[in-house]
Amino acid sequence: MVVSYPPLEGVPQAGEDTMSNNRYRVCVVTLTYSNRWQFLEQVLKRALAADAVVNVVLVDNGSTYPVRGQLFDDRIILLQNVENLGSAGGYQQGIRYAFKEVDCDFIWLLDDDNLPDTNALEELLNHWDTIPGPANRKALFSFRTDRLPHVKIAMGEDPGRYYLVPDNFLGFHLFRIVKNQYLKLLGKFKKTGPFADHVKIPYVPYGGLLLHKELVREIGYPDERFYLYVDDSEYSYRITQRNGAIWLVPASRIVDIDRSQGLTYHKKAFHSHLLDQWSFRTYYHVRNRMFFYSHVSLRNNFIFGINKTLYLTFLQIISILSDKRSAYKKLLGAVKDGLKGNLGKADPGKF
């Protein structure tokens, strides 16, 4: 899926006269919602402590407390929304503002719980000067040690094992089961090596992504139709689609300080996390993943159809055994919406 975004006009060229003492100027863009000040405060203080950061654009996506009253630094630019625009709408708003209004060379994206190491940004900027490629064809990305695929890739694993697997359906692929089990077994006996200095990865989350303004001029802004989930994958994958590269830099570390998400579910026999945890989050994740993958990794409709039929049949049986038939029907709706391209903020009845 190549989405055509014309070059952004009417904005000064970045990076020509904005450097002082060989230091780049960086604008951080972050997004918050609900009541997450306990995390956001730490991220803001750490980001503003970096020498290269000139501003932080903070998008308040309908928080439940007065965010403005908590702010402590004039470099923080607050953009407030009455309602939650989702990650897609919020990051679109923040990136657009930073691109058009802030005098900077780079935009560094951070979620409101992405706490960077004190030298995380410095490491990215140092690597920027050593990794080849024009400013509008490369991006750098910070490293999280709790993301297993990123760890494996940093140690030399083929990204194709985890990303853009052709004709998969929600991660299931009949003809890769044996291969995947073999790789898992092999991994238990394989000695772990050192991390590479930098490795290429096809797409990444927002949090930790460093973009030069010239690259933003090329790829535009996030697609607000995704609303929530996978919008970061689609947005960053535009770099790869344009023969650019996203470089994962293990020396630049980020820690997710909100450890609550994704840690409450425990696997049970004859259950599926997709059905047991069905919610608006699951709907958007399934719908948007189906849309994205059907455009970028579908190679053979017949094989895709086999994977889809088998996995949905499996989930249907699980839904009966676990009494989750209502969630299963809603999942079918999310799959259908994704494949048909019915995006945007969905009716709550779909959840």
pLDDT tens digits, one per residue of 41-53: 999 999 999 999 9
Q: H helices of the chain, where?
A: 37-48, 86-101, 120-130, 148-154, 177-189, 213-219, 231-241, 273-276, 280-296, 301-321, 325-340
Instruction: Give pLDDT tens digits for 132-150.
Output: 999 999 999 999 999 999 9
Strand partners, 199: 248
pLDDT grade, residue 9 (50/70/90)?
very low
Name every residue whose Cβ is closer than 8 Å to that of residue 303 and which is 6 or more positions away in sequence: 166, 167, 175
Question: Residue 6's pLDDT is what?
Answer: 38
Instruction: Output the pTM of the full model.
Output: 0.91
Determine contact, residues 214/133, Cβ cutoff 8 Å: no
Task: Indicate whether 348 pLDDT > 60.
Answer: yes
Q: Each residue of 255-288: pLDDT tens digit?
A: 999 976 655 678 889 999 999 999 999 999 999 9
State the pLDDT at residue 131: 97
Task: Determine the Cα–Cα distance for residues 310 and 170; give it in Å rounded to an integer.
Answer: 11
pLDDT at residue 170 is higher than 50: yes
